[in-house]
């Protein structure tokens, strides 16, 4: 089992694509046990940051940098999947198109092999089946356990995919725009699920919606022009001046019952 204090420790990371700089001077430090929101407008570099974390893309080597995940500079893909549950809309779409025949239970169980499906050559122990049922119970998926993906709503499938990652008891979840495509009721249900999930693992919520930032989120990183503009404790970072800067419009931020919302000025 890995022992680490920092989930993410990035210093001075630069990334480019076709010679175009898409992340610059990136600094981000997220400690184990903290819940974060990474907030920024579309095109600010949020999705690129997730690809950096998942090692789909790599820093430019001509800059001196630090890239540590789970306290290590080098790690295996299996370690990454075991300790970080990375949930993207691409994965959701892949299950819809290539795994629509699977049941909710099979989606969760498939997390053990990181496969899109459950196959005859895969052996699952009794303990693994018990763990899958525990995850389904925790995420309140019992009523749809035997339903196939094509029968599920967007929110139900997204919760099943989270269950697929939760099977490993990860240290953190990284959720990329998780409420996209959900109606208002489903959004509320999903945010409540994230709050519950934060009792099991750190949450790193990547979003451009301030209203998704729930009470258990303790830290904020604001992204602007392909870098982390400011990061720190929520009460110090989440203010009208900073949000007006990153969204490039005059905003007044307000808070009610631990949740945030904004109004435009003028």
pLDDT of residue 1: 64
Q: Is the predicted pLDDT of residue 18 greater than 80, yes or no? A: no
56-115 pLDDT, tens digit per residue, is: 888 888 889 999 998 888 877 777 888 899 999 888 999 999 888 999 999 999 999 888
- In angstroms, the CA 229 to CA 154 distance is 33
Sequence-ordered list of residues with C-beta below 8 angstroms from that of 198, at least 6 positions apart, any chain = 35, 216
pLDDT of residue 73: 87
Tell me what percent of the residues of the chain surpass a pLDDT of 70.
Answer: 99
pLDDT of residue 70: 87
Sequence-ordered list of residues with C-beta below 8 angstroms from that of 196, at least 6 positions apart, any chain = 138
What is the three-state SS of 61-110? CCCCCEEEECCECCCCHHHHHHHEEEECHHHHHHHHHHCCCCEHHHHHHH
| Mean pLDDT for all residues in the chain | 91
Question: Residues 128-156: what's their mean pLDDT?
Answer: 96
Tell me what percent of the residues of the chain surpass a pLDDT of 90.
Answer: 68
Handedness of CA 110, 187, 152, 49 (dihedral sign): negative
Q: How far apart are the first and last CA of the chain?
A: 54
- Please state which CATH number belongs to domain 6-264: 3.40.50.300
pLDDT of residue 55: 84
pLDDT of residue 257: 84
Give the strands of the sheet with 6-17, arranged side by side: 20-31, 6-17, 66-69
Sequence-ordered list of residues with C-beta below 8 angstroms from that of 76, at least 6 positions apart, any chain = none
Q: Other C-beta atoms within 10 Å of 204: how many?
A: 28
- In angstroms, the CA 78 to CA 83 distance is 9
Question: Residues 44-53: what's their mean pLDDT?
Answer: 90
pLDDT of residue 134: 97
pLDDT of residue 173: 95
- In angstroms, the CA 155 to CA 159 distance is 6
């Amino acid at each position: 089992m890995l022992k680490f204090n920092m989930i993410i420790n990035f210093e001075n990371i630069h990334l480019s694509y076709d010679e175009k700089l898409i992340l610059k001077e990136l600094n981000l430090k997220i400690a184990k046990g903290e819940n974060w929101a990474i907030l920024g407008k579309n095109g600010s570099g949020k999705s690129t940051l997730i690809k950096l974390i998942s090692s789909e893309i790599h820093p430019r080597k001509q800059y001196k940098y630090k890239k540590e995940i789970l306290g290590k500079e080098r790690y295996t893909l299996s370690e990454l999947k075991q300790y970080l549950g990375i949930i993207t809309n691409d994965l959701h779409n892949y299950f819809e198109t290539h795994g629509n025949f699977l049941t909710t239970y099979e989606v969760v169980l498939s997390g053990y092999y990181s496969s899109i499906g459950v196959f005859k050559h895969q052996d699952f122990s009794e303990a693994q089946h018990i763990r899958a049922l525990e995850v389904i119970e925790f995420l309140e998926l019992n009523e749809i356990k035997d339903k196939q993906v094509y029968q599920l709503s967007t929110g139900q499938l997204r919760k099943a995919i989270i269950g697929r990652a939760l099977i490993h008891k990860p240290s953190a979840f990284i959720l990329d725009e998780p409420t996209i495509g959900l109606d208002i009721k489903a959004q509320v249900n999903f945010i409540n699920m994230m709050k519950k999930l934060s009792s099991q693992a750190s949450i790193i919520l990547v979003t451009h919606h301030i209203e998704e930032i729930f009470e258990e989120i303790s830290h904020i990183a604001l992204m602007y022009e392909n870098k982390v503009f400011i990061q720190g404790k929520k009460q110090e970072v989440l203010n009208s001046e900073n949000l007006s800067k990153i969204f490039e419009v005059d905003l007044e931020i307000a808070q009610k019952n631990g949740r945030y919302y904004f109004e435009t000025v003028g």
